[in-house]
Amino acid sequence: MENLKSDDLEIAVALEDPIRISWIGESGFTDPGAVLDPYIARLGDAFCGRNAIVDFMDLNYMNSSTVRSIIYLCKLFNEKSIQTTIIYNKSLNWQAVSFRPLESLGQLFEYINVEGKEASA
């Protein structure tokens, strides 16, 4: 599975067990349907039934369209039975505020778990 490199965002896929999908940089897509959502769809197809960590620790910015794409990722990975742990950086206020509600929403999904972590020094 190839990495995504578009504008200021890189999504790096490491084929480990669990598969690590790291979002790095800034995601300001105004039309996620053009690049981001199709890529997420390919991730869903590629890793059906596997275990994955989706790591947002190094994401420095996202717009609200990206939030929707993350919701799409959660829903799709759940449908594809991808046992997924979503990690966000709770040391960053904006990530804590944006991702914390996903922790409770994650309970709606059988295969999705959302965890806040402190950034390492």
Partner 1 sequence: MGDRVTIVYEFASVQDKLKELRKKLQHQLRDKDPELVDATVMSAAELVENAIKYGSSEISFNLAIENDLLTIGVANRSMDQGDLDSFKAHVAKIRQSEDVGELYTQRLMELIEDPLRGPTQLGLIRIAHEGKFELDYRQEDDLIRVTATRSLN
Interacting residues toward partner 1 by CB under 8 A: 7-8, 26, 28, 30, 33, 37, 61, 63-65, 67-69, 71-72, 74-75, 92-94, 97-98, 101-102, 104-105, 108
Tell me whether residue 48 or residue 97 sits nearer to partner 1 (CB atom): 97
Closest distance to partner 1 from the beta carbon of 15 (Å):
26
Tell me whether residue 18 or residue 67 sits nearer to partner 1 (CB atom): 67
Give the per-residue SS3 of 6-70: ECCEEEEEECCCCEEEEEEEEECCCCCCCCHHHHHHHHHHHCCCCEEEEEEEEEEEECHHHHHHH
Tell me whether residue 16 or residue 61 sits nearer to partner 1 (CB atom): 61
Q: CA 104, CA 71: separation in Å to the nearest integer? A: 13
